[in-house]
Chain A
């Protein structure tokens, strides 16, 4: 591919990442970068965060041997990293606790966030309640309809949920509105971005707050199996749970890192959110990465049954991992994700979020081709309670 026509100062992953934002936001990004660097060097910050992760969020999360799924697939041994057991029901709380502590350090009393599936919105509303911060969450109207339970949870926690009616009324449009709010209220407001997206330092900072997933998983698998896994599988929307699950395994060259994007209804532009097979490098919402776009550089609409994966771009570090070949990226369709949800529910008694079900779907494809000596870890990034409305409809659970 052609070399990018742009150059970088900080926050680059190969050619990807950087900072492409309106000038008004640069000072706030610098302030955040600085506050984050200071916090990282401060042992008290880490003590505080670790204690919250342990006592409030419920870390470490178990690495669970899924024996019935393993048996049913007849190949690799399958372990599930149970981020779904965390407080608020997904990995998102890891990042929200970290950024909330930073917001308090910076003296920002108002928090804004975007949310797709609502898991990041709920986690943000939760930490705002915990720290006594004002909270506004932007959410596409389509996502408000399909993830209604999470809208109610956010309101219950005291957050204001602002519906976004522009574009495809999903995650990308929610980020646009959150950025507009931030440009307007930047002096008093921290933007608690929920994925490894956006301008520097977000992709690096959010990844660091989720590294704990692979730090734990690596130690846990060594303890249980006395070996590293054959593969780690995670779903990729913006890519926060995936980068968290991959990161500590990146130096372990023999461990396959497999990211699963949303294949949606099929391969036509507008029907999916598979950025690597259907997209090309470009700039969206502050960062240079793979983007689903048309010939004129207009951002394409996307579709996925899973609101959390329904986004036109992908975290810039994933773009670099893709180009270098260190990680592999594939996709699962809506139908495969729904089947995988049912399969995990019936074999292990675990209802995964539809996002995480994309990772399960890939596991169902690859595990049978592996030998029983192989070990696969699937990151179950969230639980499926929020998706019951969709599952009732799609799997016809409403019959008498």
Chain B
């Protein structure tokens, strides 16, 4: 499974699929992989994204206006798997679209598409019995969130059932950019390490090269979500793939990672300016 984090820090890039449209999402995803993203989180738009801040809410609304569904996300995953066999692909969704699709049917389709793992924002380990069974049958890595508010006993349970990596939430709150990283993230990663050998990715509020490098000091990977989505929003469909490639390059170069060669055309967005 290509959920390997070879470089340090590795980069997990979140995209809301269907924003600004499905064809653009494909081009953006390919550009992100080519620029150096190790894992893509393919965000399934949902009408009621309670864990998300305004940037991803707006992206979800745009994607839903385009009529994008979980089925479209899985088709795109299959396409990306053919085009970029080494990229890590994670479906990132709220639970209801998956339940409506059918849990078993979804897992079968995701496996068929070549998806590596699944993260369901509102699925907690205590409710995950059948979910974990279905994931196991279809060789999908269940990825769970760990929060600064999760006590050790929960972290242990989360670590026990996770595969691929554990997603550590950097701070108490919803998704979205912030000025500085809190100490919550480092403490949480240290607590998690006691219970797991899996790589740990830190996400929520990581929006610039400084954050990215700082997370690299204590975690295996950083997740860039709202900042990328904001860059896409700002660039528009046509310029978004380049904007995303440059953004990723701006994160990787300062930490000495060889970034891919994006096609350098159009205006250069300033990564730090994406903070809300």
Contact = CB atoms under 8 A, between A and B. Distances in A.
Interface of A: 4-9, 18-28, 166-167, 172, 176, 179-180, 183-187, 281-286, 291, 293, 295-299
B121 interface: yes
Given A5-B104, A9-B126, A27-B154, A22 B172 contact: no
Contact of A284 (B96, B149, B150, B151): B96
A26 B48 contact: no
Nearest to B94: A283
Interface stretch (B5-13, B140-148, B247-255): B140-148
A180 B121 CA distance: 13
B145 A23 contact: yes
A167 B100 contact: no
B265 interface: no
Contacts of B94: 283
27 contacts: A5-B130, A6-B103, A19-B124, A20-B95, A23-B144, A23-B146, A23-B147, A23-B150, A24-B147, A24-B150, A25-B149, A26-B150, A26-B154, A167-B48, A186-B149, A187-B172, A283-B94, A283-B96, A283-B122, A291-B96, A293-B100, A296-B69, A296-B97, A296-B100, A298-B47, A298-B64, A299-B47
Contacts of A9: 126-127
Nearest to A5: B103
B57 interface: yes
A297 B174 CA distance: 22
Given A4-B99, A297-B97, 16 more contacts: A6-B103, A19-B124, A20-B123, A22-B121, A22-B122, A23-B150, A23-B158, A26-B154, A27-B149, A28-B149, A167-B48, A179-B50, A183-B50, A283-B95, A297-B100, A298-B46
A183 B131 contact: no
Contact of B97 (A7, A28, A184, A298): A298
Contacts of B57: 166
A19 B124 CA distance: 8
A341 B94 CA distance: 40
Nearest to B154: A26
Nearest to B148: A24
